[in-house]
Amino acid sequence: MRQLRQRRGLTIRQLALYSRVSNSYLSMVERGARSAPSPAILARLAPALKVPYTELLHAAGYLDNAGEATDPLVQAFYRATEGLSPQARQEVREEILAYLEVKAAALRRNRLE
């Protein structure tokens, strides 16, 4: 990820701002202190890095060399969006991300109560 970020001339803080992913998380990923980002995080990073989402999925190990999904969630996404235009697929991806953010926030709030 560091190479892609640097190729785009972005600092970690800029990438964090454009992708809505914390700069501390991005730094840990780049240092190898965290495992590969989830497909949801990669979906945020792809537009900010100006690379295809599938390129990041492949680099993170979610797609095999034949381009087939190895992660069940990624497989489900591709099955569900098969035949959609890239723009429609991006809209679905954004809706899924929004839902995940809301759901995770609600679960964190419930855990704190």
pLDDT digits (tens, 9 = 90+) for 6-62: 999 999 999 999 999 999 999 999 998 988 898 889 989 999 999 988 888 888 888
Specify the pLDDT at position 60. 87
Domain ranges of the chain: 2-112
Tell me the CATH architecture of domain 2-112.
Orthogonal Bundle (1.10)
The stretch 56-85 carries a mean pLDDT of: 81
Length of the chain: 113
Query: How far apart are alpha carbons 33 and 21 in whole angstroms?
Result: 16
Query: How far apart are alpha carbons 77 and 80 in whole angstroms?
Result: 5
Cβ neighbour number for residue 64 with a 10 Å cutoff: 10
Task: Burial-class residue 62 by CB neighbours within 10 Å (0-12, 13-18, 19+).
Answer: buried
Predicted structure pTM score: 0.64
